[in-house]
Structure formats: C-alpha cells, structure tokens
Amino acid sequence: MTKAIALSGGGAAPPAPAVPAPVQQDRRPQLEQAALELFDSTPAEGGRALAGSRGKINFQFNPKEVTIAKAAKWERKPAKGAKSAGPPEFKGADPGKLTVEMFLDASGKHDGSVVASVEQLLSCCVPTPESRGQDKPSPPLVQFSWGQVKSFPAFITQVSAKFTRFAADGMPIRAVCSLTLEEMPGDPGWQNPTSGGLAVRRAHTVVEGDTLASVAYREFGDAAMWRPLAEYNGIDDPMRLPSGRVLLLPAPYELQPAG
C-alpha cells in the first residue's frame, strides 16, 4: 500500500508582490495665458456695449505688469475774502484707462508672425469692415483677460509697436507693443470703482444649446433668474439667443429675482 507523502512548507515563502507607490498629484496652479478679446459692438445708452466675439489675440508671453488708472473730477469754487478753500463738489468720473505691453518674438521661427500680430493690433484702431457701411463706423471693442480676471469693456486709443530684432532679409522677428485701452461707457453693470478697473463680473459667450435658464442655473444656481438676466442684457425675446452672443454676468445681488 502506497503511503501518502505530506508536502511541507519548509522552503522560503515567495516574496509578496510589490505595492506601487501612490502617484503624487501635481498641485501646482495651472499657468493662465493673458489675452486681448475682440468684440463687435452695439449702440447703448452713453456709448456702446459688447456684442458678438471677433476672436482674441493671445499674449505670447504674459505681461510683467498691467497699469490701471481711474480719475474723478472735483471742483472748488473759492469765495472772495474767505480764509479757507471752498468745499469740493464732485463733477463726475473720468473713464478708466489700462496700459499693458505685449512682447512678440519669432526669432526661433523667422516667419511673419510678429508682423501679422502687430497688424492685427493696429486694426483695432480702425473701423471693422462690417461697420464701414453704417452711419457710425466703429472699431472693435476689446477686453483684457487673464484667467478669471477681465477688464472693463474698452476701445484701443493707441498702439505703439517697437521692432527690436530683424532677420537677415529685414523681416521683423521681435517687437514690443504698448497698448492703451480706455473704458467704453454704455454698460453700467461693468462699472466697479472699488476694484480699480478690473471688474469681478464675467461674460459668457452663447454656444449652441444654451438657454437663458440653463445659463442662469449654471451661474447663479437658480433657473428662475433667467428673466432678470435677460433684462440686464437688454434681451427682448428670450427664445432667440443666437450663438456667439455675449451675456454679461453680474454679481447675484445685482439681479432682482423674478416675482
């Protein structure tokens, strides 16, 4: 009779499988790219308001500084024989102004991209082709944006381009462009003197499938806010919301819920 042979585990135990080390997530903030957004405009009270987007000009390198200025007008009426100056009287606020530099470089490619970008900036100082046949031709409106920060709607008053490097054939391949933007009146919702000109309001460009109710729910958490949102943007027919239309999104407290 054959005797069963017991198998013993006297040998060394097999090594346990290696546990992969947890992957460390990169928590560094994502670099946002500054841009100059271009818009068509429509007549508005006191000026013009943003309309459809005309694209944007991306900053090849983010600016190292942005200057914003806002001034107020005060007037004193001196009284004859008075020992002290008369009380100041507020006469109004000057439009906000923003200045920024854009650095362009094509030294690695030696192509015409620098000249093309400068020409695109200069075109912001002349009427758009679509507006030339109208009673009041108008250049595009612009808005400086950098991440979640957007400036007031503005028009460009000056573009100064300095070419600082050239290819062997004379083509400019490096330039520094100085831009001066001035606030465009016509949209009271964007006035925010406490911010120094960088408004906390945002804008949403309508895409196919958007409705005022869906935008109101996404931005304010309440679809019923579509009516005050329509009134804020001067929309008479909420059923007609064309793609490309720019909706201004104020702070929730600036909108009165529909009753």
pLDDT digits (tens, 9 = 90+) for 1-56: 555 544 444 555 566 666 555 555 555 556 788 999 999 988 887 788 888 889 99
Q: Are 178 and 99 in contact (CB under 8 A)?
A: yes
pLDDT: which is higher, 75 or 139: 139
pLDDT at 20: 58
pLDDT at 23: 52
CA distance 139 to 124: 6
Q: What are phi and psi of 93, to 5 degrees?
A: -110, 140
| pLDDT band, very low/low/confident/very high, at 153 (cuts 50, 70, 90) | very high
Q: Are 69 and 97 in contact (CB under 8 A)?
A: yes
Among the CATH numbers 1.20.140, 2.40.30, 3.30.1490, 1.10.10, which is that of 34-72+91-197? 2.40.30
Q: What is the pLDDT of residues 128-140, one digit of tens each?
A: 988 888 878 899 9
Global confidence as pTM:
0.59
Percent of the chain with pLDDT over 70: 77
Torsion of CA 242, 243, 244, 246, to 10 degrees: 60
Beta strands in 120-257 (DSSP E): 141-146, 149-151, 154-166, 172-183, 198-199, 202-205, 246-249
pLDDT at 196: 45
CA distance 92 to 244: 34
pLDDT at 16: 60
What is the residue-averaged pLDDT of the chain? 80
Domain boundaries, the chain: 34-72+91-197, 201-259
Among the CATH numbers 3.40.50.12370, 3.10.350.10, 2.40.50.140, 1.10.238.10, which is that of 201-259? 3.10.350.10
